[in-house]
Amino acid sequence: MSQVISIRISDEIAYALKKISDETERAKAFHVKKALETYINEFADMQVALDRLHNIGDEIISSKDMRKKLGL
């Protein structure tokens, strides 16, 4: 299932999107979808990192100990 959304973008972004679309011979919607997917994945990764950073119970391992643990 998919949904249609409407957004407003600046002329500068619209021009860059059109240029990328023309160069890749892909629809603008394709690139917008890929950009949103990337943003959402990176945001989720950032949330996990922040949650771990703020978890006082999470063990902190030095890079030296981590290399030793990995046999490097």
User: Cα–Cα distance between 70 and 61 in angstroms, integer?
Assistant: 12
Q: How many domains does the chain have?
A: 1
> Helices in 1-72 by DSSP H: which ranges?
11-24, 28-53, 63-70
pLDDT tens per residue across span 40-49: 999 999 999 9
Residue 6 lies in a domain: no
Instruction: Report whether 42 contacts 50 (CB < 8 A).
Output: no
- Residue 42 belongs to domain spanning: 11-70
pLDDT at res. 16? 98
pLDDT tens per residue across span 15-37: 999 999 999 999 999 999 999 99
User: Cα–Cα distance between 46 and 30 in angstroms, integer?
Assistant: 24
Residue 36 lies in a domain: yes
